[in-house]
Structure 1
Amino acid sequence: MSGILDSVNLRTQMVGQNRMELLLFGLETDQRFGINVFKVREVLQCPDLTEVPRQTSAIKGMAHIRGETIPVLDLSEAVGRDPVPKEERVRCFLIVVEYNRRILAFLVRRVDRILNTQWDQINAPPAEIGVENYLTAILEYEGKLIEIIDVEQILADLYPTSTEVSHEVADAGVRKQAEEHQVLIVDDSSVARNQMRRSLEGLGLKVTSANNGRIAWGLLEGLLSKGMDPNEVFLMVISDIEMPEMDGYTLTSMIREDERTRDLHVVLHTSLSGGFNVSMVKKVGANGFLAKFDPNELAEVVVRRIRQVEGGS
Structure 2
Amino acid sequence: MNTKEILPKILETGANELEIIDFRMHEKLEDGSVYEWILGVNVAKVKEVIQKPESIFKTPGLPPEVEGVSKIREDVVPIVNLARWMNIKEPEDKKGKYVIVMEFLREIIGIVIHDAKRIRRIKWTDINKPPASIDEKLGGKVVGVIEVEGGKLLLLLDFEGILDELGMIKVFHIDEAQEESSSEEKYNILILDDSPVARKIIRDILEKDGHKVFEVQSGIEGLKFLEDMEQEAKAKGLDITDKIQLIISDIEMPGMDGLTFTKKVKEHPVFSKIPIVINTSLSDKATVDKTKLVKADAHLVKFDTKDLLHIVHQYAIKK
Do the two structures share a fold, i.e. TM-score over 0.5?
A: yes
* Identical columns (%): 30
Partner of 2:53: 47
Corresponding residue pairs, total = 292
Matching of residue 170 in structure 1 with residue 150 in structure 2: no
Q: Tell whether the 8 Å contact from 2:275 to 2:296 is kept in structure 1 after alignment.
A: yes
Name stretches of at least 5 consecutive residues in structure 2 with no aligned partner.
1-6, 27-34
Q: Tell whether the 8 Å contact from 2:41 to 2:157 is kept in structure 1 after alignment.
A: yes
Matching of residue 111 in structure 1 with residue 121 in structure 2: no
Matching of residue 237 in structure 1 with residue 247 in structure 2: yes
Partner of 1:274: 284
More off after superposition, 12-21 vs 232-241: 12-21
| Cα displacement (A) at 1:255 | 0.5
More off after superposition, 292-301 vs 126-135: 126-135
* SS state at 1:146 partner: strand
**CA separation in 2, counterparts of 1:107 and 1:13?**
30
Partner of 2:30: none
* SS state at 1:53 partner: coil
* SS state at 1:31 partner: strand
**CA separation in 2, counterparts of 1:92 and 1:66?**
18
Q: Tell whether the 8 Å contact from 1:185 to 1:238 is kept in structure 2 after alignment.
A: yes
| Cα displacement (A) at 1:122 | 1.0
Q: 1:144 to 1:259 in 2, by over 3 A?
A: same
Matching of residue 257 in structure 1 with residue 233 in structure 2: no
Partner of 1:5: none
Task: Output aligned runs, 1:1-313, within 5 Å.
Answer: 14-16=10-12, 17-28=15-26, 29-54=35-60, 55-82=62-89, 89=95, 92-126=97-131, 129=135, 132-142=139-149, 143-158=151-166, 159-162=168-171, 164=174, 166-171=177-182, 174=183, 176-178=184-186, 181-228=187-234, 229-306=239-316, 309=318
Q: What TM-score do the two structures reach when normalised by structure 1? A: 0.85
Instruction: Give, as a single letter, the amino acid of the residue that structure 1 aligns with 2:117.
Output: D
Q: Which string of whole-angstrom CA distances, capped at 9 and with x for unpartnered residues, describes residues 82-110 of structure 1? A: 4687x965x61110000111001100011
Q: 1:167 to 1:69 in 2, by over 3 A?
A: closer
**CA separation in 2, counterparts of 1:66 and 1:244?**
33
Instruction: Give, as a single letter, the amino acid of the residue that structure 1 aligns with 2:251.
Output: I
Q: What TM-score do the two structures reach when normalised by structure 2? A: 0.84
Q: Tell whether the 8 Å contact from 1:62 to 1:71 is kept in structure 2 after alignment.
A: yes
Q: 1:99 to 1:83 in 2, by over 3 A?
A: farther
